[in-house]
Chain A
Amino acid sequence: MTLLVDVFTVLAVAAGIVFFIAGTAGLIRFPDTSSRLHALTKADHLGLGLVVLGLLPRAESLGGVLRLLAIWGLVLVSSAAAGPMLARLARRGARGG
């Protein structure tokens, strides 16, 4: 059972890291600010979600589980609020006003 949990954790965290790498690659490769925001939000959210998912079985208490979920939730909420604002500013900047 412990081995299964370990394997699950390793796979989920490794997959999460792949999505963080993809987000960073998008930040470098994508041609405009708003596209880079897609990379930083969507790929990194999934990456963080998978890391959290992988760490959940290793939490020592319910508090640890809640803490991990709260971190993911806070990141989602803050980027849902900031993403559209930054995209609006980027569009205004691209129009020169």
Chain B
Amino acid sequence: MAAAALVRFGLLLTLWIALAGAGWKGLAPGVAAAALSTWWSLRLLPPAPLRLHPIALAGLVLRFPWQALTAGVQVALLALDPRRQPEPRHVTWAPSLSPGRARDAFLAYASLLPGTLPAGDAPDGSVVIHAIAGAGSAAAGMSEEEARFARAFGLDD
């Protein structure tokens, strides 16, 4: 717990310094804000063992800009090209990750990917995905991304 608290405090203080600058003047409120945020984050998200796979994680991170570009271009074309129309559909998708923080983290990540926006749980335990176009391939795409995500964070062992 102490090690996790120290790491989180360090990361939050680094974020503060990145945003507010490294001067002594702003350091005292930064330390106070980082300490308070660390305490709150430990209450909301207690530390859990994480088995990162660096190569898979690097692949996921490096792939993200391309995904962001694809997602943005797809939506921009739908919004600006009068010949294209969005075909919004809700599709259900059966995740491999168990309910919990790992699945929640993946669904948050998936909301930034092209064409898909998780929209809550279905009564049968699957996840409802809002697809803005190409609903047919949305579920398969989600499964592929979930596998990449699980590999990067060691959730598939």
Contacts and interface: CB of A to CB of B under 8 A. Distances in A.
Interface size of A as a range: 35 or more
Contacts of A25: 79-80
Interface residues of B, number: 35
B80 A91 contact: no
B126 to A, nearest CB: 14
A51 B155 CA distance: 35
B18 A63 contact: yes
Contact of A34 (B15, B75, B88): B88
A35 B129 CA distance: 12
A26 B78 contact: yes
B114 A42 contact: yes
Interface of A: 18-19, 21-23, 25-26, 29-32, 34-35, 37-39, 41-43, 45-47, 49, 63, 66-67, 69-71, 76, 79-81, 83-84, 87-88, 90-92
A15 to B, nearest CB: 10
B72 A47 contact: yes
Nearest to A66: B18
Nearest to A30: B86
Nearest to A49: B68
Given A22-B76, A22-B80, A23-B79, A84 B117 contact: yes
B153 interface: no
A80 B108 contact: yes
B119 A84 contact: yes
A26 B111 contact: no
Contacts of A81: 108
B32 interface: no
Nearest to B108: A80
B76 A43 contact: yes
Contacts of A71: 19
B79 A88 contact: no
A46 B115 CA distance: 14
